[in-house]
Amino acid sequence: MRVTIHGSDDQLSTAVAAAIDRVDGIDTETVDSEAADLVITVGEQPLGDCATRREERPILPVGIEADWSVDPEALPDVLGQLPDRKLPTVDAAPLVVSVDGDESTAAFDTTLITSEPARISEYGVSVDGRRDTFRADGVVVASPLGSCGYARAAGGPTLDFGTGLAVVPIAPFATIADTWVLEPPLSVSVERDDSVTVFADTTELATGRSELTVDITTGQPLSLVDCRYLPDCR
């Protein structure tokens, strides 16, 4: 099997490459990146880059705090299983985020947050003709890939692949706050004249006030090797 490694953490990527070198039947030394059968991503940013460029090859994510990602120390055991079996892949759809006609891709989440720290605004979430509003510092919309990250820390659910998007208020102005799991497409709007900034993953997209609406749907799915279907991956 021919593999290529994409990593944002040089030290961890070096450790991953060293682990791969110990596995029989896996070739990285002579493989052109475009000719590889499997893309190994180390950390979140390279996986996000795969979503942006619409990577079609199977992707094995390493070093992400999620149960579908391989622990770096378990990588040699996991790779040793792969040449002799069909890759256990799942479809993991990223978000496609539209603001003022400009479209961006977010593998994990889209966040609207007040530009001034700890300032409450009001937001609306619309889907299938239904609309809910709430007051909060912000709101995060997470794909299943991102539901184990910031959205989870804000009180949202962890989603399995293909089950919708998590919509989670950030620091809501309510004793008991709602969260939602919604099927895309959906839109999030700013309801008060407060300055709010929009992010796709960690990239800032726009800043606006009560005229700001963000449309969110899903894009071309990534073919993700889900380590939950492999023994000893964590």
pLDDT of residue 84: 60
Q: Residue 214 has which token pair?
A: 């963000």
Q: Residue 33 has which token pair?
A: 């990146």
Question: From its phi and psi, is residue 128 left (phi > 0), alpha (psi between -120 and 50) or beta?
Answer: left
CB of 198 closer than 8 Å to CB of 214: yes
Quick one: pLDDT band at residue 85, thresholds 50, 70, 90? Answer: low
Q: Is residue 94 scored above 60 in pLDDT?
A: yes
pLDDT of residue 37: 85
pLDDT of residue 31: 46
**Domain limits, CATH 2.60.200.30, in the chain:** 95-218
Alpha helices in 75-200 (DSSP H): 75-81, 150-153
Q: What is 3-93+222-229's CATH superfamily?
A: Probable inorganic polyphosphate/atp-NAD kinase; domain 1 (3.40.50.10330)
CA 220 – CA 44 distance, rounded (Å): 18
Look up the pTM and report it: 0.89
Computed over every residue of the chain, the mean pLDDT equals 88
CB of 69 closer than 8 Å to CB of 61: yes
Q: Is residue 30 scored above 50 in pLDDT?
A: no
- Proportion of the chain above pLDDT 90, given as a percent: 66
CA 57 – CA 223 distance, rounded (Å): 7
**Domain limits, CATH 3.40.50.10330, in the chain:** 3-93+222-229
CA 200 – CA 106 distance, rounded (Å): 5
CA 25 – CA 84 distance, rounded (Å): 10
Quick one: pLDDT band at residue 118, thresholds 50, 70, 90? Answer: confident
Find out whether the peptide bond into 231 is cis, omega within 30 degrees of 0: no
Query: In CATH, which of 1.10.3470.10, 3.10.180.10, 2.60.200.30, 1.10.3720.10 is domain 95-218?
Result: 2.60.200.30
Give residue-wise pLDDT tens across range 144-195.
Answer: 999 999 999 999 999 999 999 999 999 999 878 899 999 999 999 999 999 9
CA 160 – CA 181 distance, rounded (Å): 11
